[in-house]
């Protein structure tokens, strides 16, 4: 029998990025009509638009186990794993800066409304706050929940004239939470499960 090629189930949108304090309640993941119909609980904050979507990355490192009597490895063993969620936020706000810098102090200096003056001070080393990161596809068929993350790396912003814009780059690194599960992927409907 000849092999037939099925039309692929594509995922072709940047989705929504969400941030929540550590140990926040996950969505209930209610599925109706092959899509998620529930909303993310109130602790989850929509981070807003990004420059060009986000990048979910998870990698494992394996090493060969060798013995003197064989040229080929007897077995491979996982020696480490790491993951991250990276993006550049176009929603340039003090709250997003605070989230990307892992906490710190955002305070009102004076005024309110149109006279509000605010200041931000990053956290001291060792006082950083871990967070959860969430993602959902625009078609509401895929979700990712990252249970414990810490943003690290260079936060470099360029201030240029339009059409360029200032961005808040971030790469939230996965840590091992108390459950031992760094992240979960969820899908809605049978098409996303595949064969």
Output the tens digit of pLDDT for each of the chain's 195 residues.
788 888 888 999 999 999 999 999 999 999 999 999 999 999 999 999 999 999 999 999 999 999 999 999 999 999 999 999 999 999 999 999 999 999 999 999 999 999 999 999 999 999 999 999 999 999 999 999 999 999 998 888 899 999 999 999 999 999 999 999 999 999 999 989 887
DSSP string, 100-114: HTT--EEEEEE--GG
Phi, psi of 97, deg, nearest 5: -60, -45
**What is the pLDDT at residue 156?**
87
Read off the pTM: 0.90
CA 143/CA 136 separation, integer angstroms: 4
Structure tokens of 175?
A: 């840590």
Q: What is the CA radius of gyration of the chain?
A: 21
How many helices and strands in the chain, by DSSP H and E? 1, 12
The pLDDT value recorded for residue 153 is: 84
């Amino acid at each position: 029998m000849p092999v037939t090629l099925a039309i692929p189930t594509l995922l072709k949108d940047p989705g929504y990025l969400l941030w929540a304090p550590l140990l926040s309640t996950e969505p209930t993941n209610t599925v109706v009509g092959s899509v998620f119909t529930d909303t993310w609980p109130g602790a989850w904050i929509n981070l807003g638009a990004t420059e060009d979507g986000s990048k979910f990355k998870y990698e494992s490192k394996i090493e060969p186990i060798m013995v003197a009597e064989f040229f080929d490895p007897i077995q491979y063993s996982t020696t480490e794993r790491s993951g991250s969620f990276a993006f550049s936020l176009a929603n340039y706000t003090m709250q997003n800066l605070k989230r990307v810098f892992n906490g710190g102090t955002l305070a009102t200096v004076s005024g309110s409304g149109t006279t509000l003056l605010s200041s931000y001070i990053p956290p001291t080393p060792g006082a950083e706050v871990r967070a959860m990161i969430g993602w959902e596809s625009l078609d509401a068929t895929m979700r990712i929940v990252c249970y414990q993350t810490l943003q690290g790396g260079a936060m470099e912003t360029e201030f240029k004239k339009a059409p360029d814009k200032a961005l808040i780059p971030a790469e939230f690194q996965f840590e091992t939470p108390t459950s031992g599960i760094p992240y979960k992927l969820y899908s809605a409907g049978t098409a996303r499960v595949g064969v």
